[in-house]
Amino acid sequence: MLTLTWRRGDGRCAFLAGMLALLCYISPASAEDGYDLWLRYAPVGSSKVEGYRSALGNVVAPDRTPTQRVVREELRRGLAGLLGSEPRFRASPAGDAALVLGTPASSPWLAPLRHELEGVGEEGYLLRWTRLDGRDALVIAAHRDIGVLYGVFHLLRLVQAGVSLDGLDVSEVPRIKLRLLNHWDNLDGYVERGYAGGSLWDWHTLPGWEDPRYTDYARANASLGINGTVLNNVNANALSFSPAYLRKAAALADVFRPYGVRVYLSARFSAPMELGGLATADPLDPDVRQWWREKAREIYALIPDFGGFLVKANSEGQPGPQDYGRTHADGANVLADALAPHGGVVMWRAFVYAHDVPEDRAKQAYNEFVGLDGAFRDNVVVQVKNGPIDFQPREPFHPLFGAMPRTPLMLEFQITKEYLGFATHLVYLGPLYEEVLRADTHARGAGSTVARVVDGSLESHALSGIAGVANIGDDRTWSGSHFDQANWYAFGRLAWNPYQSARDIAAEWVAMTFSPAQEVVRPVVDMMMASRETAVDYMTPLGLHHVIARGHHYGPGPWVDGGPRADWTSVYYHRADRDGIGFDRTASGSDAVSQYAADVAREFNDVERVPEPLLLWFHHVRWDRRLRSGRPLWDELVHRYTRGVRNVEAMQVTWRRLEGRVDAPRHRQVAAFLRIQRDEAQWWRDASVAYFQSINGLPLPAGEAPPPHPLAYYLSLQFPYAPGDGR
Ligand code: GCV
């Protein structure tokens, strides 16, 4: 061991001073690499420590079950980091003020709250001051241990944000029952549309080796209230259902269980043939039904709290019931019957469209499913993407929301940014999620928002659900960038309560992830809130959609044409010609508008009334049509592309000003990614302008710079190893 001595006047002083300076430079704060997510538990400001210590220094909490032990460990870890000292765990609240945690069953102190807990359900909690034994105590009380854990994360969130605990009186209940991540992870470790490295699941070493990262993953999800995870890709491999892989999934389920995260699997519809050797996967075949029943029994023997199946059927080449002339309901119900005795659910995806159907792709899922309303078993939810095409930077809400009143509909968002710049573009998805959740379907008159369809309140469904396609991989940051963690966070918080504001959620996240100082929170939140619209501007302004490069979807590709199917090209969607641009989905076009409730359909159908951000989604518009700005469409389009680039530059300025307020390693990476984003925004703008100008032959509006390269240059760019491509 190196021993340092300090003698005044000694020649070694300069050396030692240098060493000390170096040690200061390598302080823990500068070693941040994003691994800790929003659970950094960085020390709170000295002015607040004493107040928190006096309320939280003594803790009374049971430690008999695995979840109870997780609760204690989280408090220990959180308070040690935040307040600089571990709490004292006591047997009773006697003496000093105490924080008392538990359920009426686990803590005699909380038994009197039994009545008040009736309203919080299975996963909710109370977090408030009360009198216990004649003293004030802060309590976190719930029906079940998991509610206590959620309450602890709530408390730690408040302390991280520096919020006063005075007068705290919180009663929280999740509004949505199934709050799930969907991993598109393949068994070979590749993540489809994943930009955060390889899969977290090391199938090869499971079940023998349970990587500690699995626990950290469960912990992060529990901190948001996410209560389930689908481990494998919806483009499923039947092997996930083989005995060996089920044992691996069971090992993960064991790790996740104390955190309230249940395991689900994507089911390959043809598994009875591929694994069971049957001649058919026809859902009405008795042997097939029997195979699924036995498979469910086998799974539940290994994973007693297994959640259920997610299914992509008859879509993009996946097998399904229509291969046998059966309906989606026939397919879903055979799986549902197999799971029902064990309490499992089927999440049947409505993301279906067929290349041999000449119908507008935006209409196909509705056409397929709306007639099946009421035909599904009680333990089936139909999982619907937020919009009718595919996770575009902006889409109208999916017309199925509000159109299947007798069927619980689960909303599917994409957290991974397949169409929003992968992991290097800073695009906070909170505003996108909020826009969808607040959209009014008018299914039962004004106020029938997507959130109310999804949380089951509009049609009084007991089963409700929301899923996010995960942006998580084995990258040290988990999500491929520091700011992409905010999208995991926002999804989880909105899954718990879809009525929260994206801005408030961003503010919480910034306070916990970077700093609660207002000089940091304010500019970063403003930047995040504007970032989604900025991406829409430089990628798909005015309702354009699906203008990405082929296959990997990296970068612009408005010229994409030909290939195996029209609905995988860009020209199918933008329909630009010499006179105008946009997909005519009005009553005189594909009539997709008629799939919405009458009030909504009228608005979308009318070129004067349609919200301008959706103009080209629903209308084919002449290039010279004047828009609300007074500019002709072509000028407005170019204006927005350019504005997108300028706004990324503004983000760079904001971030630069935060140097020194954010630890250096994270600041550096974000700054570098913003540079990439700026250059790619410019690329999007230039390539799109060059292409559309080649179609309409119009001059650029005054003051707009011409693209620096001819169109042929943009067409020639190839990215054979762009990440995340489907395979
Ligand atoms: C998992 C899009 C993506 C596919 C994805 C599919 C789906 O088409 O590009 O990679 O497949 O959506 O949601 O099933």
3-class DSSP state of 17: helix
- Cβ neighbours for 110, distance < 8 A, ≥ 6 positions apart: 100, 102, 103, 104, 139, 141
Question: What is the reported pLDDT for 5?
Answer: 29
Q: What is the mean pLDDT of residues 189-207?
A: 98
Angle at 599 between CA 594 and CA 603, to 5 degrees: 80
Contact 332/376 with Cβ under 8 angstroms? yes
Pick the CATH number of 46-172 from 3.40.50.300, 3.30.379.10, 3.60.21.10, 1.10.3720.10: 3.30.379.10
Residue 130: how many CB atoms within 10 A of its CB?
18
* Residue having the nearest C-alpha atom to atom 10 of ligand 1: 726
The pLDDT tens digits of the residues spanning 691-727 come to 999 999 999 999 999 999 999 999 999 999 999 997 6
The pLDDT tens digits of the residues spanning 419-453 come to 999 999 999 999 999 999 999 999 999 999 999 99
Q: What is the mean pLDDT of residues 650-659?
A: 98
Contact 62/143 with Cβ under 8 angstroms? no
Give the C-alpha distances (Å, rounded to integers) separating 472 from 225, 417, 432, 661, 702: 17, 11, 19, 27, 44
* Residue having the nearest C-alpha atom to atom 12 of ligand 1: 390
129, containing H or E segment = strand 125-132
pLDDT at 558 over 80: yes
CA distance 693 to 704: 13
List strand residue ranges (DSSP E) for 450-595, in order: 465-469, 580-581
By the 10 Å C-beta count (0-12 exposed, 13-18 middle, 19+ buried), 168 is classed as: middle
Q: Answer yes or no: CATH 3.90.1330.10 is held by domain 537-583+620-716.
A: yes
Angle at 348 between CA 343 and CA 144, to 5 degrees: 35
Query: Could you say which DSSP state residue 231 is in?
Result: -
Domain with CATH 3.90.1330.10 in the chain: 537-583+620-716
Question: What is the reported pLDDT for 452?
Answer: 98
pLDDT at 194 over 50: yes
Question: What is the reported pLDDT for 31?
Answer: 77
Q: What is the mean pLDDT of residues 595-618?
A: 98
Q: What is the mean pLDDT of residues 310-315?
A: 97
Q: Is the CB of 546 under 6 A from ligand 1?
A: no
CA distance 195 to 477: 11
Domain with CATH 3.30.379.10 in the chain: 46-172
Q: Is the CB of 551 under 6 A from ligand 1?
A: no
pLDDT at 33 over 70: yes
With the most atoms of ligand 1 within 8 angstroms of its CB, the residue from 268, 316, 554 to mutate is 316
Q: Is the CB of 351 under 6 A from ligand 1?
A: yes
Question: What is the reported pLDDT for 727?
Answer: 64
Domain with CATH 3.20.20.80 in the chain: 178-513
Rg, the chain, Cα only: 27
Question: What is the reported pLDDT for 325?
Answer: 98
Q: What is the mean pLDDT of residues 42-52?
A: 94
The pLDDT tens digits of the residues spanning 130-148 come to 988 788 899 999 999 999 9
- Cβ neighbours for 720, distance < 8 A, ≥ 6 positions apart: none
197 CA from centroid of ligand 1 (Å) = 18
Find out whether the peptide bond into 523 is cis, omega within 30 degrees of 0: no
**In whole angstroms, what separates CA 84 from the centre of its chain?**
33
The two structure tokens encoding residue 344: 């499992």
Contact 137/100 with Cβ under 8 angstroms? yes
The pLDDT tens digits of the residues spanning 265-279 come to 999 999 999 999 999
Average pLDDT, the chain: 95
3-class DSSP state of 98: strand
Q: Is the CB of 412 under 6 A from ligand 1?
A: no
Q: Is the CB of 390 under 6 A from ligand 1?
A: yes
Question: What is the reported pLDDT for 23?
Answer: 38
Helix axis angle, 145-160 relative to 46-56, nearest 10°? 160
Q: What is the mean pLDDT of residues 498-518?
A: 98
Q: What is the mean pLDDT of residues 333-348?
A: 99
- Cβ neighbours for 21, distance < 8 A, ≥ 6 positions apart: none
Contact 93/110 with Cβ under 8 angstroms? no
Q: How many helices (H) and strands (E) does the chain have?
A: 21, 16
294 CA from centroid of ligand 1 (Å) = 30
Nearest to 668 by CA among 682, 680, 681, 658: 658
Catalytically active residues are 316, 390, 418
Angular region, 553: left φ>0, alpha ψ -120 to 50, beta rest: left
pTM for this one? Answer: 0.96
Strand partners, 413: 468
Q: Amino acid identity, residue 183?
A: H
Atom of ligand 1 at shortest range from CA of 315: 14
Question: What is the reported pLDDT for 96?
Answer: 75
Question: What is the reported pLDDT for 334?
Answer: 98
Contact 179/173 with Cβ under 8 angstroms? no
Q: Is the CB of 619 under 6 A from ligand 1?
A: no
Angle at 93 between CA 87 and CA 98, to 5 degrees: 45
pLDDT band at 94 (very low <50, low <70, confident <90, very high): confident
The two structure tokens encoding residue 587: 């009553």
Residue with tokens 């990215």: 719
Q: Answer yes or no: CATH 3.20.20.80 is held by domain 178-513.
A: yes
* Residue having the nearest C-alpha atom to atom 4 of ligand 1: 726
Atom of ligand 1 at shortest range from CA of 414: 13
Q: Is the CB of 185 under 6 A from ligand 1?
A: no
Angle at 597 between CA 596 and CA 599, to 5 degrees: 115
pLDDT at 18 over 90: no
Contact 602/639 with Cβ under 8 angstroms? no
Residue 684: how many CB atoms within 10 A of its CB?
25
pLDDT at 299 over 60: yes
Q: Amino acid identity, residue 157?
A: R
- Cβ neighbours for 55, distance < 8 A, ≥ 6 positions apart: 97, 99, 138, 165
19 CA from centroid of ligand 1 (Å) = 53
CA distance 558 to 541: 13
675, containing H or E segment = helix 664-696
pLDDT band at 110 (very low <50, low <70, confident <90, very high): very high
Contact 434/472 with Cβ under 8 angstroms? no
153, containing H or E segment = helix 145-160
Among residues of the chain, what percentage have pLDDT more than 90? 92
Q: Amino acid identity, residue 247?
A: R
pLDDT at 14 over 90: no
Q: Is the CB of 235 under 6 A from ligand 1?
A: yes
Q: Is the CB of 234 under 6 A from ligand 1?
A: yes
pLDDT at 250 over 90: yes
Question: What is the reported pLDDT for 20?
Answer: 39
Strand partners, 125: 172
pLDDT band at 4 (very low <50, low <70, confident <90, very high): very low
CA distance 549 to 526: 30
126, containing H or E segment = strand 125-132
494 CA from centroid of ligand 1 (Å) = 23
pLDDT band at 15 (very low <50, low <70, confident <90, very high): very low
59 CA from centroid of ligand 1 (Å) = 47
319 CA from centroid of ligand 1 (Å) = 15
